[in-house]
């Protein structure tokens, strides 16, 4: 969704930085190499905190998109994570959501 335009990629870094391991989080980097635009953060948090992605249609609608649009927007997710025990499971979740064939670990 964020990676549209001329540069079809977005970066996701799973890290807790200086926080305790249970507080791992994601940093989303757009195709310009900058952090996710602040106006998009509430939408990403809504998705991230949804246990079953039931909020996806709502988030897409706020972006002017539908579920059908997701299959027509080419993109690649560049994925990285730190060495915390919880990071690989979070990376797997990101790959699942990114249809892992488009995810570059």
Residue 17 bears catalytic tag? yes
Beta strands in 3-44 (DSSP E): 9-15, 25-29
Answer for the pair 85, 16: CB distance below 8 angstroms, yes or no. Answer: no
User: H helices within the chain, ranges in order?
Assistant: 41-48, 56-62, 67-70, 87-97
Q: Of 3, 17, 54, 86, which one is the catalytic site residue? A: 17
Question: Residue 92 contacts by C-beta under 8 Å, 6 or more apart in sequence?
Answer: none
Question: Which residue's entry shows tokens 């998109």?
Answer: 65
- Which residues are known catalytic residues? 17
């Amino acid at each position: 969704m964020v990676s549209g335009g001329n540069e079809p990629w977005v970066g996701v870094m799973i890290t807790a930085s200086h926080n305790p391991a249970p507080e791992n989080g994601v940093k989303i980097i757009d195709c310009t190499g900058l952090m996710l635009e602040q106006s998009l953060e509430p939408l990403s948090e809504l998705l991230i905190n949804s246990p079953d992605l039931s909020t996806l249609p709502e988030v897409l609608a706020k972006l002017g998109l539908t579920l059908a649009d997701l299959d027509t927007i080419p993109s690649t997710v560049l994925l990285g994570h730190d060495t915390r025990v919880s990071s690989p499971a979070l990376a797997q979740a990101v790959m699942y959501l990114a249809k892992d064939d488009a995810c570059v670990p």
